[in-house]
Chains A and B, each alone.
Chain A
Amino acid sequence: MSQTAPILELRAVNKSFGPVHVLNEVDLSVYPGQVTALVGDNGAGKSTLIKGIAGIYPFDSGEYLFEGKPVHITEPRQANALGIEVVYQDLALCDNLDVVHNMFLGREQSKGVVLDEITMERRATETLRGLSVRTLKSVRQQVSSLSGGQRQTVAIARAVLWNSKVVILDEPTAALGVAQTEQVLNLVRRLADNGLAVIIISHNMNDVLRVADNVACLYLGNLAAQVNANQLNHSQIVELITTGRSGEMGLHPDSAMGASV
């Protein structure tokens, strides 16, 4: 699939909530410089998978490798320390604060007790420039005055501010119009081009095919397939999502049946 080594690799991870087996022996490889799309129907286990990666719900069993080394992540802080950042669907921005304040929320830079506004503003501006963001009038604008796409941009910029290596985006375009979706997808692409590993959850197949390098499809808690995006077309992805297989790809018919129990 790719010549480079994966930065993040899951091997046969399992997760159950009580009697419900949500993730079943899932493998996933995430490569630096690539966008990995995570697709699947509702309840397929996408959210559980990323929450496991982010340390919110630790996996029950299986291997979690980061940069080739096994790690054990049980809380979000550990994931952050490794350079894994998640942008959730609701973005978690404070409307009453400006862009800089939001980007540094909870991790403000200070000189003594005094906030170092200048350093923060510079770093925020640099990060936004690095992402070629030109849609913000001023980094001192309040978030309440931003459009949905601009907010998404700020949330993503916040995630990459901390020299992160893996950025996970949960449905970043779900609530956006056409032009803003375009903006955000461009930004996602640039993140990968800058060398980051990006995991994007999306229900929009056009978005997936436009931006993803490879696609991992979950089907009822099983990984149906993780394949190169250019080997897939729209209907094949839909097939993978709805039946767990498509032609030669995907789960063996028996296991697909077994998984549906």
Chain B
Amino acid sequence: MSTQTTDVDVPEAGDTQGLKQAVGDYVQRVKGGDVGSLPAVLGLVALVVLFSVLQGETFFTALNFANLLNQGTAIIVLAMGLVFVLLLGEIDLSAGFAAGTCAAVLAVTLTNRQWPWPLALAAALITGLVIGFLIGLLVARLGIPSFVVTLAAFLGLQGVMLLIIGEGGTIPIQNEVLLAVMNNNMPVWAGWTLWAVVVLGFAAVTLRAILNRRKVGLQASSTSVWLAKVLAVAILLGVAVYLLNIQRQVVRPGRLACTDTGAVNEPIGCIPVIQGVPWAVLVVLVLLVILTFVLSRTSYGRHIYAVGGNSEAARRAGISVPGIKISCFMICSFMAAVAGVLLASRDNSVSPTTGGAQTLLFAVGAAVIGGTSLFGGRGRVIDAVIGGLVVAVIANGLPLVTQQSGIQYVVTGAVLLVAASVDAISRKRTSTS
């Protein structure tokens, strides 16, 4: 071409990206405003270091690490659902009480009505889908702003929940299977098996993608980049599994640890062994894999991004915008239902405060801190996990440092604002470049 513009060639076939180039590209992307999860990861590291320095003996322990995961799980799951709604540029303020309502349905059917647990669980999850469908219908078909619809649902569901729970106030959950999710841990060997499956699975999937691209001569990252990524994942998860497999109960001098929980010939008064990866981690992992697949590997997921990026363009391309919107609200409320079940499992009961208080704001915060944009069109499911961990670390570490709940609120609010600012600034950058 005879123009004087940047005549950069379309990358030649068979190009491979070396480690150096991959890092360079990433730096370029960050400079261009596409920061992704970088601030959240840096923030997570900084917070862990900070709390370890301030309160090392209580914060950086195996017990607290497990506690932290336990506290974060429901928020992470809720945030995963919110990512879908945020991707459209919408918001769901009712997700917290949707979780509470679904938990109430679970408790009433399970405890009061004596339904078998799979049925009660199904009832809770279907309740979530119905709530999401109704919200989505009002937003997509009537065109009411989602902020208003879900604000109304926020108030309404709070009432519905009270009506379902009734005068009793708190309904206990006694089913062992449901309680096990948030209270029991995997055996040590199962934890390591899970680790191996995840690492090998990650390695296989990413390697296959690279080889497939090379086979047809498309630009692909080099094996060294792949190896670095796999190693990073393996080490990170390995450390986590190792920490979780440590006996968390502190054995005081003069007392013995039980050799095996539930065995007969134990010393009297021994301290039970608590170790292993919590089952809840498996739940989060499975949801993460499924939702990430849907969002990044299917045309449905692609259409969600398209609607969030430019709904008019999506409509002209033949995508059913109302359909996408309704389905995303359904996914969000479904995930809220899952979070509600997890909360019920963690607290061993359902009360009118389940899913209330800061649950929703923490979840929105988690998604945004993780790198999901409030303006729509940008975000991933893993953001919810990373951001959820940040929120959990703050919620867990701050009370160890200061007892003043005022400070805790202020800090959490400030972190959310910082995340939203990063989002807004990076959006400005990408739009002006």
Contacts and interface: CB of A to CB of B under 8 A. Distances in A.
A118 B298 contact: no
B302 interface: yes
A258 interface: no
Contacts of B404: none
Q: Is the interface of B mostly helix, strand, loop or mixed?
A: loop
A185 B156 CA distance: 58
Interface stretch (A34-42, A106-114, A239-247): A106-114
Nearest to B317: A106
Nearest to B301: A115
Contacts of A94: 305-306, 309-310, 313-314, 377
B298 A93 contact: no
A92 B316 contact: yes
B10 A106 contact: no
Contact of B377 (A77, A95, A107, A183): A95
Contacts of B433: 144-145
Nearest to A150: B5
B290 interface: no
A149 B3 CA distance: 12
B57 interface: no
Interface in A96-143: 96-97, 101, 105-108, 110, 113-115, 118, 121-122, 125, 128-129, 132-140, 142
A90 to B, nearest CB: 8
Contacts of B8: 134-137
Given A95-B309, A96-B377, A144 B212 contact: no
Interface of A: 77, 88, 90-97, 101, 105-108, 110, 113-115, 118, 121-122, 125, 128-129, 132-140, 142, 144-145, 149, 179-180, 182-183, 186
A110 B300 CA distance: 11
B213 A93 contact: no
Contacts of B430: 95, 142, 144-145
Contact of B302 (A115, A142, A145): A115
Contacts, number: 116
Nearest to B8: A137
A134 B317 CA distance: 26
Instruction: Bin the interface of chain B by size.
Output: 35 or more
Interface string B1-20: 11111111111000000000
Contacts of B260: none
Given A128-B10, A144-B431, A179-B4, A105 B314 contact: yes
B5 A92 contact: no
B318 interface: yes
B172 interface: no
A107 B318 contact: yes
Contacts of A97: 302, 305-306, 309
Contacts of B310: 92-95
Contacts of A133: 10
Given A118-B216, A135-B6, A106 B308 contact: no
A179 B216 CA distance: 34
B308 A92 contact: no
Given A96-B309, A107-B318, A183-B1, A114 B431 contact: no
Contacts of A182: 2-3
B32 interface: yes
Contacts of A107: 317-318
B72 to A, nearest CB: 28
Contacts of A149: 5
